[in-house]
Structure formats: structure tokens, C-alpha cells
């Protein structure tokens, strides 16, 4: 009987990591470098959602346009990977100095439906691995709940934005 050394296990693990490298978060620079954690882990901190705690937002944010409901939008200045996928933009929806929602936009090359499907599959897999459980969803959106958050993924309606992920506290 042949006994496998640690090299066999390393070969299997390195194949898995290389094959799934796109799904792994980058832990340097961007939001992670500025905040010391991923955006999704930051969103899971209950302090972020408390009334008047807009200042609890980590990393660097800049003022965006005033929203239709009279609240402010703040845009993340750093790049971010959210659930392992590179985001085009991250916006915090603010009302009365309270974070109400984090909105993450993802883009893809024009006319690349397979890229959108891969991105959606990566998000679903990574949200489930992070602790999000599938919840009742509408026809064109997926909903997950976990770590005190409701997370939705929907198709984008703005040119160049193919998917939009929203994070807000469970009520």
C-alpha cells in the first residue's frame, strides 16, 4: 500500500485554489487595506447601522449626490472586492447620519452574458460560503440572509452595470 506524503495534499489544494482564484478575496490595498477587513464583514458589524453612526464607516468616502428621499450618498474612494468580486462602485445610502444601505455595482464587458452568469454564480457561492442563506426572492433578484444582513443581487439597469448587490440590516 502506497502512503501519500503531504505533497499529494498540497497538489490537490493548490489545484483547487488556482481553479477558484477568482472567487478568493484580495487582501491587499483597496478597502481591505484601509479598513483591515472586507466590506461584507464591515457591513455585518451592528454598530454600522445604529442611528447617528455614519462616522463608523471605515476607509475613505466622498460625498455623492443627494438622493431622491433627501438623504445623502457617500461613495467609497478605494477599490473593493465584495464577496470576492471586483466592484465598479460602492455607495452608502445615508439618512439623518445613519447608514441605511450599502449598494455595490458590478460591471462586465459589453455583450458578455457568460461573464455576467459567472459573476452571478461567484457571488451566490461566496455569499453562501460567508454565511448567507437563501431567502424568498423576487423573479429577477436573489436574496440571502445572514450575519444580521439582508443581501440582494439584482440585474443592473444602468448602462455598464450588470449586477447590483444591496446590503442592509435585517429589520
pLDDT exceeds 60 at position 1? no
Residue 22 lies in a domain: no
Decide if 155 is inside a domain.
Answer: yes
Structural domain contains residue 46: yes
Question: What was the pLDDT predicted at 25?
Answer: 45
User: Torsion over CA of 127, 128, 132 and 138, rounded to 10 degrees?
Assistant: 80
Question: Is the pLDDT assigned to residue 23 strictly greater than 80?
Answer: no
Instruction: Quote the cell numbers at residue 41.
Output: 464583514
**15 in a domain, yes or no?**
no
CB 141 within 8 A of CB 134: no
Examine residue 59 and state whether it is found in any structural domain, yes or no.
yes
Give the Cα separation of 150 and 52 in Å (integer). Answer: 21
pLDDT value, residue 111: 60
In a domain, 117, yes or no: yes
Mean pLDDT value across the chain: 82
Candidate ranges 28-32, 88-92, 113-117, 158-162; pick with highest mean pLDDT? 88-92
Return the HEC string of 87-141.
CCEEEEEEECCEEEEEEEEEECCCCCHHHHHHHHHHHHHHHHHHCCEEECCCCCE
Please state the domain count of the chain.
1
Domain that holds residue 88: 37-169
Q: What is the pLDDT of residues 129-147, one digit of tens each?
A: 999 999 887 777 899 999 9
pLDDT tens-digit profile of 44-88? 999 999 999 888 999 999 998 766 666 789 999 999 999 999 999
Give domain status of residue 17, yes or no. Answer: no
19 confidence band (pLDDT: 50, 70, 90): very low
Residue 3 has pLDDT above 60, yes or no: no
Cell (9 digits) for 114:
457568460
Flag whether 52 is in a domain. yes
Amino acid at each position: 500500500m502506497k502512503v501519500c506524503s503531504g505533497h499529494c495534499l498540497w497538489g490537490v489544494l493548490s489545484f483547487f485554489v488556482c481553479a477558484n482564484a477568482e472567487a478568493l478575496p484580495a487582501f491587499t490595498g483597496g478597502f481591505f487595506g484601509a479598513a483591515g477587513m472586507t466590506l461584507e464583514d464591515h457591513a455585518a458589524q451592528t454598530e454600522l447601522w445604529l442611528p447617528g453612526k455614519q462616522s463608523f464607516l471605515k476607509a475613505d468616502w466622498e460625498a455623492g449626490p443627494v438622493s431622491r428621499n433627501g438623504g445623502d450618498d457617500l461613495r467609497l474612494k478605494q477599490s473593493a472586492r465584495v464577496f470576492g468580486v471586483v466592484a465598479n462602485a460602492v455607495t452608502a445610502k445615508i439618512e439623518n447620519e445613519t447608514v441605511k444601505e450599502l449598494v455595490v455595482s458590478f460591471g462586465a464587458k459589453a455583450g458578455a452574458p457568460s461573464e455576467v452568469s459567472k459573476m452571478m454564480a461567484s457571488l451566490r457561492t461566496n455569499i453562501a460560503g460567508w454565511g448567507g442563506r437563501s431567502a424568498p426572492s423576487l423573479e429577477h433578484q436573489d436574496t440571502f440572509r445572514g450575519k444580521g444582513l439582508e443581501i440582494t443581487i439584482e440585474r443592473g439597469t444602468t448602462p455598464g452595470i450588470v449586477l447590483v448587490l444591496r446590503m442592509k440590516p435585517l429589520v
